[in-house]
Amino acid sequence: MSDKAYQVENKPINTQNQKTLLTPVKKEKGQKYLDAADQWLSTAISRVRQPIESFFNWINEKTGIQLASKVRSTKGLIVHVFGRLAAALFIMREMRFF
Predicted TM-score (pTM) of this structure = 0.62
Cβ pair 62, 90 in contact under 8 A: no
Cβ pair 6, 24 in contact under 8 A: yes
For the chain, give every domain's residue range: 1-63, 64-98
Cβ pair 38, 57 in contact under 8 A: no
pLDDT at residue 1, rounded to an integer? 40
Q: Please give the angle made by the CA atoms of 7, 12 and 18, to the nearest 5 degrees.
A: 140
Per-residue pLDDT of the chain (98 residues; tens, 9 = 90+): 445 555 555 555 555 667 777 778 888 888 898 889 889 988 998 899 899 999 999 999 988 888 888 889 999 999 999 999 999 999 988 887 65
pLDDT at residue 21, rounded to an integer? 72
3-state secondary structure of 1: coil
